[in-house]
Amino acid sequence: MTDNELSRTAPLPTVRRLPQYLRLLRLLKVRGREVVSCTHIAEELKLDPTQIRKDLAVTGIIGRPKVGYFVPELIAAIEEFLGWNNTVDALLIGAGSLGRALLGYERFRERNGLNIVAAFDNDSSKIGQTAGDKPIFPLEKFGDLARRMHIHLGIIAVPAAAAQETANLMVGSGIRAIWNFAPVSLDLPEDVLIENVDLSSSLAVLSSRLTALMKPTPQPEGGTHVAY
């Protein structure tokens, strides 16, 4: 902890890397490993050891020179920083194939402290079905359930066209943070947290590199020239 204040908020890139460390650490724990150094983590994940040390510092963990960190202690520190030591309930809107895939991913609860309680959809043919043991309710019930269960995390898995109104419904029902899988930039009150999962962004990285590869390699200037 480099601040005398309580950690402002950690750099975003750091936060995004923490789950990666956590994954490795859990693996090491299963393998019976008790201590681990940044050097070792760095080798495994092909990252810079100093960066890892800085990243881990945001969790408040203290390591031992010459030794490293105690694996279970480090796991606990990261989990606590992310809030993954406790389970947070969430409601999901949109029981299409993506929504049901998210519902069916049981590991969210154990690994990421995320418990998706139920899904909502306005397609009556889906109502009453379950997906991954989770019930699918009609959209009208959302506000009621959200308030009654004091749930403030919402997941949007509806088509782009319906995303904004879905967000509005959530906000009106007391939702304070939204995990949005629809490819839209949502208009939200300042105090509602939003995190977008944008597959296009990710694909763009891959396809632009792939495209760059295919392109006629930037010829050394000066026209035809045979090296020998």
Query: For binding to a second copy (CB under 8 A), which residues are involved?
Result: 4-6, 9-10, 12, 15-20, 22-23, 44-46, 81-84, 88, 96-98, 100-101, 104-105, 111-114, 152-153, 176-177, 179, 183-185, 193, 195-214, 218, 221
Number of residues that bind DNA (CB under 7 A): 28
The nearest distance, CB 45 to DNA, in angstroms, is 11
Q: In the chain, count of helices (H) and strands (E)?
A: 9, 9
Query: Which position has the token pair 């989770």?
Result: 134
> Which CB atom, from 10 or from 145, has the smaller least distance to a second copy?
10
> Which CB atom, from 13 or from 223, has the smaller least distance to DNA?
13
The bridge status of strand 69-70 relative to strand 35-36 is antiparallel
Query: Which position has the token pair 């194939």?
Result: 97
> Which CB atom, from 10 or from 127, has the smaller least distance to a second copy?
10
H helices present in the chain, as ranges: 12-30, 38-45, 49-57, 71-82, 97-104, 107-112, 142-148, 160-172, 199-214
| Interacting residues with DNA between 48 and 67 (CB under 7 A) | 48-51, 53-54, 56-57, 61-67
The nearest distance, CB 6 to DNA, in angstroms, is 15
Cβ-contact 219, 225 below 8 angstroms: no
Query: Which position has the token pair 């419904």?
Result: 169
> Which CB atom, from 53 or from 109, has the smaller least distance to DNA?
53
> Which CB atom, from 37 or from 87, has the smaller least distance to DNA?
37
Sheet holding 88-93, edge to edge: 130-131, 134-138, 114-121, 88-93, 153-156, 177-180, 193-196
Residues 6+ apart with CB under 8 A from 49: 38, 39, 41, 42
2-8 contacts at long range (C-beta below 8 A, 24 or more positions apart):
2/57, 7/58, 7/60
> What letter does residue 220 receive in the DSSP assignment?
P
* Residue 2: contacted member of DNA, a second copy, none (CB under 5 to 8 Å, by partner type): DNA
The nearest distance, CB 68 to DNA, in angstroms, is 4
Interface characters, 4-43, with DNA (x: CB under 7 A)? -------xxxx----------------------xxxx---
DSSP notation for 68-88: BEEHHHHHHHHHHHHTTTS-E
Interface characters, 127-166, with DNA (x: CB under 7 A)? ----------------------------------------
* Residue 133: contacted member of a second copy, DNA, none (CB under 5 to 8 Å, by partner type): none
**Interface positions with DNA (CB under 7 A):** 1-2, 11-14, 37-40, 47-51, 53-54, 56-57, 61-69
